[in-house]
Amino acid sequence: MCHSEINDLKSSYQTKYTKSIACESCVKKYGKKDVEILADLFLMYGGYEEKLKNNGESFDAVLDSLVNKLSKTTGDIDQIFTMTLHHFLLHGVDQKKLKEKIETS
């Protein structure tokens, strides 16, 4: 998920279907159920959590780029939700950060 180096396989988690490996901190942060979903998400769309975080973009710029991307898709609500989650995770915006941003807006 986070693309960190895993040195101890005993403390890591291997997903059931994709056989992806998640570090202990990702399992603690998201839980095994969500790790399964996120592994599928990154397998489908590529990348990893916080891959684009250091681009220096503000939250508003990340949101604008998402809106631009979604305006070009003809997908159903599930695809739009999945693309939104993937986009935010790539930019280092997890569910906790997103909730905080919504509450302060």
**pTM, rounded to two decimals:** 0.80
Domain locations in the chain?
1-47, 50-105
Pair of tokens at residue 94? 């997890």
d(C-alpha 66, C-alpha 89), whole Å: 12
42-76: pLDDT as tens digits: 999 999 999 998 888 888 999 999 999 999 988 89
- Give CA separation, 91 vs 9, 12, 51, 74, 97, in Å: 27, 24, 6, 23, 11
- Work out whether the CA dihedral 14, 20, 24, 27 comes out positive or negative: negative
Radius of gyration over every alpha carbon of the chain, rounded to an integer in angstroms: 15
81-100: pLDDT as tens digits: 999 999 999 998 988 888 89
